[in-house]
A = this chain, B = another copy of it.
């Protein structure tokens, strides 16, 4: 029944040989990897507008230059990742680049930053999307956590079904967003040229703060949240149809150009049409209202903004499981993250991300405002490490690649710019929540290293290196059979024990005084040849006297023989019936297998089931 529900939700299992077929073409890949990047203009524009508004018209007059500077930075970052895709076609993005060029520790720092970032992207996008819907329909505000969790569940299921289906589902909001914003921008440019500029000095409120260099830098830094999501494609190269690198690179360039036009275009129109937002309105909404009025076209624009914010969470569901699988492959995360689920996706990564996102949404009460300060530190830390890594990469390739110097300079400028942004974001938002990330990243790195150490230890301990191929046979067996009474459930176990060894002892744990004597009489009728040991248990424990007996017995038989335990276990016909029995066999098995022993071999446990028919 459970497996039927599962296959109804996520579809029937796919064979491994279909692995190559479930790749994305460029149209679908753009839809799968770009929503985070495209939707980030919604909050980046807002941050720039609010950052400059306090300095009045002098401030707002800098929106366009700052927008152009961020667009230039976007171009550089995109170019860097374009080069990364060519250099690292197996994916991994910032983690792989930082690790290979800067060393393991910077790589793990980048990986930790990226994992946290994916998680926050999912949580922020979902809550922001729901808040946007709730601004249009205020009745939904009270149940925003529930709506966000339902959306999260739907996105999780879609991703568990497999990438191609996800691409199809996600394509609608992404292309709706593009096909509503671009006509609006073109129309805006026509309006600008036919009606002429509106000087910002005529509409801006008076300044409440002076226009300082710090204010400009701070605005630049917060506006850089427009860049979040640019790295998604470079992590997901293996999801593209072959030739992967080429397709991924082209998709990245298209995405960066779309982002740049949307971002710079909307910033430019806002400034040169002299747009000022009402107190509780976003600047993008004010721009749309100015150009389109408050009718249906405006509502469609707002709705597509909400939708793309909601599906931006999906970028994380494409990126997080992939990065987790790469980390697991390298032994820094539990190996289970490499396992392909029924539908050839990294199901464990998807489920982990979904659970963690749900917890974040519940803890922060579905309020994106509280999550955003945590958000930018990880992005820019990963950017900086990745681009610094690329500088090193070009330096290493200086003999093979004639263009190493200009490429190094581009990446170097990018690295310095993103590092400066990182410092400004980290310092100015430290008390608002960035400290959580500053604390979490070392914890992640330590966990990565502990896990890696464990896998190394296991590998060494399992290695056959140095072991002679002529293996010794095991010593003769002493078998111990714990019995709960004389009944049909123990017959097969006794038969089996006698068939593999002449040295068999039955053990009866006496929980109630006097029960042992009754047991011995019955025993002697059925198995007179097999010795029965009755162990009193004054504290009513079954495990303790048995373990003590086995240890004592080992000490007595210091003759090279090996003790194994034969467990008669009866299995109920239905699962709920297991609740009606004491599960003693399970307890004994667990105790025997997991208990560290100081002398002798480990305990071998032989489980002889007796299935009840009803």
Q: Which residues of A contact B (CB under 8 A)?
A: 13-17, 334-336, 339-340, 342, 451, 454-455, 457-458, 461-464, 467, 469, 471-474, 477, 486-489, 491-492, 494-496, 498-500, 511-513, 525-526, 538-541, 569-573, 577, 579-582, 589, 593-594, 596-597, 601-614
Cα(A14)–Cα(B538), bound, Å: 8
Q: A333's closest neighbor in chain B, by CB?
A: B580
Give the Cβ gap from A350 to chain B, nearest Cβ, in Å. Answer: 16
Of the candidates B462, B488, B494, B604, which one forms a contact with A496 in the assembled complex, judged by CB atoms under 8 Å apart? B604
- Is the Cβ of B487 less than 8 Å from the Cβ of A464? yes
Give the Cβ gap from A458 to chain B, nearest Cβ, in Å. Answer: 6
Which of the listed residues A13, A539, A596 has the most CB atoms from chain B within 10 Å of its own CB?
A: A539
Specify how many copies of this chain sit in the oligomer: 2
Of the candidates B335, B461, B513, which one forms a contact with A488 in the assembled complex, judged by CB atoms under 8 Å apart? B461
- Is the Cβ of A469 less than 8 Å from the Cβ of B609? no
Chain B hits for A539, CB < 8 A: 13-16, 342
- Show 8 residue pairs from A and B whose CB-CB distance is below 8 angstroms, ordered by the A residue: A16-B511, A17-B513, A17-B538, A461-B613, A462-B487, A467-B491, A602-B610, A607-B607
Of the candidates B335, B462, B601, which one forms a contact with A580 in the assembled complex, judged by CB atoms under 8 Å apart? B335
Cα(A458)–Cα(B574), bound, Å: 12
Cα(A604)–Cα(B567), bound, Å: 10
Give the Cβ gap from A321 to chain B, nearest Cβ, in Å. Answer: 16
Cα(A593)–Cα(B492), bound, Å: 14
Of the candidates B15, B335, B471, B526, which one forms a contact with A581 in the assembled complex, judged by CB atoms under 8 Å apart? B335
Chain B hits for A494, CB < 8 A: 471
Cα(A472)–Cα(B458), bound, Å: 44
Chain B hits for A513, CB < 8 A: 16-17
Cα(A607)–Cα(B564), bound, Å: 10
Q: A16-B512, A601-B492 are in contact. Are A462 and B570 (CB under 8 A)?
A: yes
- Is the Cβ of B612 less than 8 Å from the Cβ of A457? yes
Q: A610's closest neighbor in chain B, by CB?
A: B602
Chain B hits for A492, CB < 8 A: 474, 601-602
Of the candidates B487, B606, B610, which one forms a contact with A606 in the assembled complex, judged by CB atoms under 8 Å apart? B606
- Is the Cβ of A607 less than 8 Å from the Cβ of B605? yes
- Is the Cβ of A604 less than 8 Å from the Cβ of B606? yes
Q: A603's closest neighbor in chain B, by CB?
A: B609
